[in-house]
C-alpha cells in the first residue's frame, strides 16, 4: 500500500458526479420557481394571519428538493440510502389551511421535476398551476359567504327580520338559533348579491331587533 492509497477517498471521487454548471443552473431555476410559488401564495392568501416564514419555506423547500434529487440521480447507491434516511423523518407542524398543503406539494413537485432535467415541464407546469390558483382563489368578495348575527326581542321581530334579510341577499341558511325569555339570537349564513352592505343598517332599524352584525365567514361551520 502506497502513501497515496492511504489518503485515497471514494468521497472525493464522487465530487464530479454532478457538474458545477448543472448544479448552478438547477439551483437558479429552483430559486426562480420557488420565488414564483411564494408570490402566488402571497397573492392568494385568504387566512386570518399571514405567515412570511411559510412563504420563505416554499422557496427553500423547492431548492432543497432539487438538491436531494440531483444527488439521487447522480448515484444509484446513494439513492437507496437516501430513501432509507428520509423514511425516518417525521414532521410535526400542523397545517391549518388546506390550501397550504397544495403549495407544499407544488414546491416539492417542482423541485423533483426540475432536478430530473424536465425543465420545460417544471417551468410551464408551475405557471399553469399559478394561473389556476390566482383565478379560482381570488374570487369576487360578494361570492364569499358571510354570517349575520341577529338579536331580537321576540318571535315577531325575528320573523320580520328574516323576511327582510331574505329579500336582500342571494341565499340565506339559518345555522343556529338560541332562544331565551325575551331574547332570540340567530346565526344566518348569507351570500350577498353585490358589495353593498347597507341592508345591515336597515336590518338594525326594524322594531324589535336589538343588534345586527355582519361577519366575514370562510364557510367552515362548526356546530
E strand segments, 3-124: none
Tell me which fold the domain 141-216 belongs to: Alpha-Beta Plaits (3.30.70)
Question: What's the mean pLDDT in 43-51?
Answer: 74
Q: Which tens digits make up the pLDDT trace of 193-214?
A: 777 788 888 888 888 888 888 8
The predicted model scores a pTM of: 0.62
Q: Name the band, by pLDDT with cuts 50, 70 and 90, for residue 10.
A: low
Span(s) in the chain for CATH 3.30.70.260: 141-216
The CA-based dihedral angle spanning residues 92, 94, 98, 100, taken in that order and rounded to the nearest 10 degrees = -70
**Is a pLDDT exceeding 70 seen at residue 116?**
yes
Q: Quickly state the pLDDT bin for 21 (edges 50, 70, 90).
A: confident
The yes-or-no verdict on residue 20 having pLDDT over 90 is no
Share of the chain above pLDDT 70, in %: 74
Work out the pLDDT band at 221, boundaries 50, 70, 90: very low
Supply the pLDDT for residue 128.
92
Which residues are CB-neighbours of 186 under 8 A, at least 6 positions away? Answer: 148, 149, 150, 152, 158, 161, 162, 174, 176, 177
pLDDT digits (tens, 9 = 90+) for 122-163: 889 999 998 988 888 776 555 678 888 888 888 888 888 888
Phi, psi dihedrals of residue 202, rounded to the nearest 5°: -70, -35
pLDDT given for residue 140 in this prediction: 58
Q: Hey, how many other C-beta atoms are within 10 angstroms of the C-beta on 146? A: 19
* pLDDT band (50, 70, 90) for residue 2: low
List CB contacts of 8: < 8 A, sequence separation 6 or more.
none
> Can you say whether residue 219 is alpha, beta or left, with left for phi > 0 and alpha for psi between -120 and 50 degrees?
left
Amino acid at each position: 500500500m502506497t502513501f497515496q492509497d492511504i489518503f485515497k477517498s471514494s468521497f472525493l471521487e464522487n465530487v464530479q458526479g454532478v457538474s458545477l454548471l448543472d448544479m448552478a443552473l438547477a439551483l437558479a431555476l429552483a430559486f426562480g420557481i420557488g420565488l414564483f410559488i411564494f408570490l402566488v401564495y402571497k397573492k392568494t392568501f385568504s387566512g386570518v394571519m399571514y405567515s412570511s416564514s411559510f412563504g420563505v419555506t416554499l422557496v427553500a423547500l423547492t431548492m432543497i428538493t432539487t438538491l436531494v434529487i440531483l444527488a439521487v440521480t447522480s448515484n444509484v447507491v446513494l439513492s437507496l440510502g437516501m430513501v432509507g434516511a428520509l423514511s425516518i423523518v417525521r414532521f410535526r407542524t400542523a397545517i391549518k389551511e388546506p390550501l397550504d398543503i397544495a403549495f407544499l406539494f407544488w414546491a416539492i413537485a417542482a423541485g423533483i421535476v426540475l432536478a430530473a432535467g424536465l425543465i420545460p415541464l417544471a417551468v410551464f407546469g408551475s405557471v399553469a398551476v399559478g394561473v389556476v390558483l390566482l383565478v379560482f382563489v381570488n374570487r369576487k368578495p360578494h361570492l364569499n359567504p358571510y354570517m349575520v348575527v341577529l338579536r331580537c326581542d321576540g318571535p315577531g321581530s325575528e320573523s320580520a327580520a328574516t323576511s327582510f334579510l331574505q329579500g336582500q341577499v342571494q341565499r340565506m341558511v339559518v345555522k343556529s338559533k338560541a332562544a331565551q325569555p325575551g331574547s332570540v339570537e340567530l346565526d344566518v349564513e348569507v351570500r350577498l348579491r353585490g358589495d353593498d352592505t347597507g341592508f345591515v343598517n336597515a336590518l338594525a332599524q326594524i322594531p324589535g331587533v336589538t343588534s345586527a352584525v355582519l361577519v366575514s365567514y370562510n364557510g367552515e361551520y362548526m356546530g
